[in-house]
Structure 1
């Protein structure tokens, strides 16, 4: 998955559905988002599941979004 980093033109809402893994979004997903160029609508939403708590996932997502220009 991390090798497929073609440009993605977002025509609507950008929604990432990911599990909570070790109290964060999976690193492989975070790396893929960081390497992939997203154009178009930059309003990103993250839907996460968890067994108990999302831990520090919100902190990592809040750090990632400005780097990618997501709202």
Structure 2
């Protein structure tokens, strides 16, 4: 479980870099298509939230395992 959470967190971290690139690419056309910018922003927020959540779950599982 710990390893799975760490791999998921690293995957979210890597994916957030591509999401930032998508946001930067969407900015020049933002006035014509603001939904693309908003969507790209929410993808980044969701990935950063998931990244933090997976790291916290890995830490929690690690503490629970070491205490037993």
TM-score (norm 1): 0.30
Structure richer in strand, relative to its length: 1
Highest Rg: 1 or 2?
A: 2
Higher RCO structure, 1 or 2 (CA under 8 Å, sep 6+) = 2
TM-score (norm 2): 0.31
